[in-house]
Structure 1
Amino acid sequence: MTSLGFLYPGHSAEDDYPRIEQLLGSDIRVDLVHTGLGEDAHRLPAPRELGSAEQLGEGMERLRLSGVETVVWACTSAGFVHGWQGAQDQVRALARLAGMPASSTSFAFVHAARELGVRRVAVGATYPEDVTALFAEFLRAGGLEVTRVRSSGVGSAAEAGAWGEEEVLTLARAADDAGAEALLLPDTALHTVAYLGLLEKSLAKPVLTANQVTVWEGLRLADRRVNAPELGALFTREPIVQV
């Protein structure tokens, strides 16, 4: 049994995680611990204040008791808004605190794109434009080319969590770019797992979504590979060998 730990702020799209656990269909356990949400706002400076050491530490204590092997900070914006170096510092601090391999959703997107061998990506974000721009900057720092960015300006995680299939598909189609090899949907407050097959079929390319890549990152840290076609191309393709 492999136990994966996730620190997730609030409750907007938490049900994506047990859904993923079911779709993995193997000896994988997904343990989710909720951290404080603070001000539920996508606008700055709220995302910068979300992943405080105190909040992460409190959540980590509860995860440690559950016997997890890896931990991922499951909040995209509260990672990338600190920039590449700041997000690395955050993950290092979490790893020291946890005493185990750690990462965050922001880095999961970069690692997942590398796994698929894609360099050119489009971004469809629920965030305001200034926050979305910081995500694009983070991706570029990770070696990716961002061909198109679409911002929806959703004001809060609660609002994003209320989106359904139609809204998610509309955002994806509006953000897609013919030159992009994959589309990224970065908000962990957005339900996407149930729509991955539809999204990839509609766009005819890999789609990487926040909760999907977060669990994949936990598996990567645990050195586990699981074939789960319902979770999209990321969970079905052979890894790319970097030369």
Structure 2
Amino acid sequence: MNTVRAQKDGWEARARIGVVVPHADVGPESELQVMAPEDVFLHGSRVHFGAMRAGGEMDPKIPHDPVRAFVEPPHIDDAVELLAASPLDAIALGFTSSAYVLGASGEKALFDRLARHTRGIPLTGTTTAAVTGLNVLGAHRLAIVNPPWFDDRLSGLGADYFTEQGFTVVHHGPCGLPSNQKLITPQALSVWIRTIVAEHRPDAVLVAGNGIRAVGVIDALERELDVAVLTANQVLFWHALHLAGAGEIAQQITGYGRLFGRAPGGGQRPG
């Protein structure tokens, strides 16, 4: 009998993570995919976001009504329920600004509502993951770098969110880069973060907003500045892997920040 030597075919997953994203945003899936080992698979579901147009175009500052509408029933509930019909290990909400608008209590109510649609699959979101990661790293003084399409009021709501969670927010604001996803470069973002760190001396920097190009600068900046650098998609992926019971996979990821060497229970990568 001839033995078939099969090529990889995508069925050998060690973990499957579902992610809910705005309909015209490729950023979260792109960044999660590049961080994922080859045996971790991502499965996306899209929800219409009224502040984005075809091709990913947005206004220079996004209005708040579409941000709130993104997490109102029924569309996000349907997206989560459809994802949860698949054999997934965790589901992640790839959207930051809704948590800013809702606040911590409103976000908890959102998660409680969505839990009715997940079939018991664990669910996380960017700000929840960020709080967990910051606590694991022992960070207290936090600088928040928001996307340029967040206005000052939205940025202030984000500062309120993290202050309520017990952090000292030493800086928050939209970064001074072009308000266009396609024009933000790792080099320009790095310069902005260096300036913020030099001026405010935080324990950690959080680059918020899942649509901003950010994961590529984490490792170099941590080495240079000796400050923890977290980004929306990095913390989301890290937390989702741990909720999926794939913490050993998360601790094997290198090049995307010291956070991946830590576990929510405080464990650290050996060596």
TM-score range (shorter-chain normalised) is 0.7 to 0.9
Instruction: Report percent identity of matched pairs.
Output: 23
Residue 208 to residue 3, structure 1, CA distance change in 2 (3 Å): same
Residue 240 to residue 130, structure 1, CA distance change in 2 (3 Å): same
* Aligned residue in 1 for 2:208: 186
* Aligned residue in 2 for 1:5: 18
Aligned match for 2:142, one of 121, 128, 139: 121
* Aligned residue in 1 for 2:48: 36
Aligned match for 1:213, one of 235, 238, 254: 235
**1:140 partner amino acid:** T
Q: Which has the higher contact order (CA 8 A, sep 6+)?
A: 1
* Aligned residue in 1 for 2:56: none
**1:194 partner amino acid:** G
Aligned match for 2:170, one of 147, 169, 175: 147
- For residues 27-106 of structure 1, the aligned pairs below 5 Å read 27-40=39-52, 42-99=62-119, 100-106=121-127
Aligned match for 1:20, one of 13, 35, 50: 35
8 Å Cα contact 2:47-2:70 kept in structure 1:
no
- Give secondary structure in 2 for the equivalent of 1:122: strand
* Aligned residue in 1 for 2:186: 165
What is the TM-score with the length of structure 2 in the denominator? 0.79
Mapped to 1, the partners of 2:181 and 2:134 lie a distance apart of 24
Residue 107 to residue 239, structure 1, CA distance change in 2 (3 Å): closer
- Give secondary structure in 2 for the equivalent of 1:53: coil
8 Å Cα contact 2:176-2:192 kept in structure 1:
no
**1:38 partner amino acid:** G
- For these two proteins, the number of residue pairs brought into alignment is 237
Gaps of 5+ in 1: none
8 Å Cα contact 1:16-1:193 kept in structure 2:
yes
* Aligned residue in 2 for 1:223: 245
Residue 50 to residue 238, structure 1, CA distance change in 2 (3 Å): closer
What is the TM-score with the length of structure 1 in the denominator? 0.87
Shift of 1:173: 2.1
Deviation digits for residues 122-170 of structure 1 (CA, Å, limit 9, x no counterpart): 11111211111111110111111111223237796xx235411123213
Residue 168 to residue 107, structure 1, CA distance change in 2 (3 Å): same
**1:28 partner amino acid:** V
**1:67 partner amino acid:** P
Alignment RMSD (CA, Å):
2.3
8 Å Cα contact 1:188-1:210 kept in structure 2:
yes
* Aligned residue in 2 for 1:233: 258
Mapped to 1, the partners of 2:186 and 2:89 lie a distance apart of 33
